[in-house]
Structure 1
Amino acid sequence: MKVNEVAKIAGVSVRTLHHYDKIGLLSPTKTESGYRDYSSSDLDVLQQILFFRELDFSLNDIKKIIKNPSFDKNEALENHKKMLLQRRSKIDIMLENIDMTIKHNKGEIKMNEKDKFKGFDFKEGNKYEEEAKKRWGSKSVEENKEKIKGRENEIGEEMNNIYFSLASIRHLSPESDEAQSEIKKWYDFLNKFGSYSLDAFEGLGQMYVDDERFKNNIDKFGDGLAVFMKDAMKVYSQKNK
């Protein structure tokens, strides 16, 4: 199948498929004319990629996992199913919470304070992601710590330079080419030492505004920088999905 056909049946953009090829995540064979030619096996890999993306894995982590010789696609599918069932259960509880809250607000029922927070659980994180990284990932937390060791000053300087660059253009639209170019540097910087999916990157930007500690520290580089970064990070995330 050609790239346009694959994009249509998988519900992703041609640009996304080109990007997957560029980073070596999904590279189909090429015809003599240079066109991408996707096999049934390639589509199986794409399905796995999209399952992992649905569960908020970064592209870097997905690549490490599916390229690992010990990767078992059927085992992965079973784990995808388990995680999605857990997510569905959580969504059902939250939908019930919403219905109850609406009735509470209308005076039809009385909710206690604990019931208002049914379905919210931020303590456990993504257990499946941690399990998958341990099972198939090629990079441990200790290896990331080793990257940083002895380079704290260099890393701090690089981080501050990005902040200063962003502060200097915070008067521009977050959608501008300049803003998106600079915020990409921030995304790339963060992923040198961790694993941020585009959704996580967008969520981090929101935290820069919601958490006063982050907001105050970032705004030291320029008033309004936290809000500007939040908006630019959201645009970057949405454009590159």
Structure 2
Amino acid sequence: MTYSINELAALAGISARTLRYYDQIGLLTPGRQQDNAYRVYGQKEVDRLQQILFYRELGFSLTEVKQMIEADDYDSLKALQDHLLVLKEKQAQTGLLITNVEKTIASLKGELTMSDEEKFEGFKQQLINDNEKQYGKEIREKYGDDVVDQSNAKLKGLTARQYEQAQELSNQLNVYLKKAVEQGQPDSELAQKTCALHKEWLGYYWPQYSKEAHLGLAQMYVDDPRFKAYYEAIAPGGAEFLRDALKIYCS
């Protein structure tokens, strides 16, 4: 079965312009072209387009998609299995939010009483999912599945007030860190107070605290570009400063 560019665009629910652009950047090139130069797509291109659209739906850029599907170790079956897991997670999250909204509507109608914890259940699960997507691989490799799963369970168990306190503490921590970096002394009273706040903040999420784990996390802030970018936005050199201050705090 072959398709013209317009036929494939209609089949996939995208524009012919999009397919032309995919061809232009080498992401999806027609298998062959007829003598009249019309693009003709075969089964191989149809399957590749499906993969592309899966990845796009999951939020990957075209550059990232091209790198993944052209990698030497790319496995289309494994990719589909990974897609399925992510989609099931999104389905579960959507179901949780739907239930949350339905309960809220019923609560406003006076049909049931909704606890404060229930009101935020879906949002906390979304936070866990976002953290897993962005940092899950590195965190699990560093601390192990059991520790991460316990941390997620602790987050889900936070009361509305505890969750609010954790957010307030995070904001306060960032303010202290910025001022401490400006002072430039990791052993200053302000820098060490920042470390104490960071430990207190971890207490809302970590099932068990240890100095070794705290220092390991601080080093990951420096080594991982995503964490480092977060602290750079607070203050230039923020990740390195916090690590150095924590070496003193934990000594």
Normalising by the residue count of structure 2, what TM-score does the alignment of the two structures yield? 0.50
For 2:28, what is the secondary structure of its paired residue? coil
Amino acid at match of 1:64: Q
Q: Go from structure 1 to structure 2 and tell me whether the alpha carbon gap of 1:130 and 1:51 turns closer, same or farther (over 3 Å shift).
A: farther
The answer to whether the 8 A contact 1:79-1:128 is kept is no
**Equivalent residue in structure 1 for 2:16, among 3, 14, 17:** 14
Q: Go from structure 1 to structure 2 and tell me whether the alpha carbon gap of 1:118 and 1:131 turns closer, same or farther (over 3 Å shift).
A: closer
Mapped pair 1:75 → 2:111: no
2:95 — aligned with what? Answer: 92
Amino acid at match of 1:76: A
- 1:57, distance to aligned residue in structure 2 (A): 1.2
Structure 1 segments of 4+ aligned residues over 3 angstroms from their partners: 126-132
Mapped pair 1:63 → 2:69: no
Partner Cα separation in structure 2 for residue 83 and residue 118 of structure 1: 20
Gaps of 5+ in 2: 138-224, 227-233, 235-251
**Equivalent residue in structure 2 for 1:116, among 116, 119, 143:** 119
For 1:86, what is the secondary structure of its paired residue? helix
Alpha-carbon displacement from aligned partner over 1:135-186 (angstroms, at most 9, x marks no partner): xxxxxxxxxxxxxxxxxxxxxxxxxxxxxxxxxxxxxxxxxxxxxxxxxxxx
- 1:130, distance to aligned residue in structure 2 (A): 7.2
* Greater relative contact order structure (CA < 8 Å, 6+ sep): 1
Amino acid at match of 2:26: G
For 1:119, what is the secondary structure of its paired residue? helix
For 2:59, what is the secondary structure of its paired residue? coil
1:23 — aligned with what? Answer: 25
Partner Cα separation in structure 2 for residue 130 and residue 51 of structure 1: 21
Q: Structure 1 vs Structure 2: percent identity of aligned residues?
A: 38
**Equivalent residue in structure 1 for 2:130, among 125, 136, 144:** 125
The answer to whether the 8 A contact 1:83-1:128 is kept is no
Q: Go from structure 1 to structure 2 and tell me whether the alpha carbon gap of 1:23 and 1:3 turns closer, same or farther (over 3 Å shift).
A: same
Partner Cα separation in structure 2 for residue 124 and residue 53 of structure 1: 18
Alpha-carbon displacement from aligned partner over 1:92-148 (angstroms, at most 9, x marks no partner): 11100010000111122111112112222224427467789xxxxxxxxxxxxxxxx
- 1:53, distance to aligned residue in structure 2 (A): 1.2
Partner Cα separation in structure 2 for residue 96 and residue 58 of structure 1: 32
Partner Cα separation in structure 1 for residue 69 and residue 15 of structure 2: 21
Q: Go from structure 1 to structure 2 and tell me whether the alpha carbon gap of 1:81 and 1:113 turns closer, same or farther (over 3 Å shift).
A: same
Greater share of residues in helix: 2
Structure ID, larger Rg: 2
Mapping of residues 1-241 of structure 1, within 5 Å: 1-28=3-30, 29-120=32-123, 121-125=126-130, 127=132
The answer to whether the 8 A contact 1:2-1:35 is kept is yes
For 1:12, what is the secondary structure of its paired residue? coil
Partner Cα separation in structure 1 for residue 52 and residue 131 of structure 2: 17
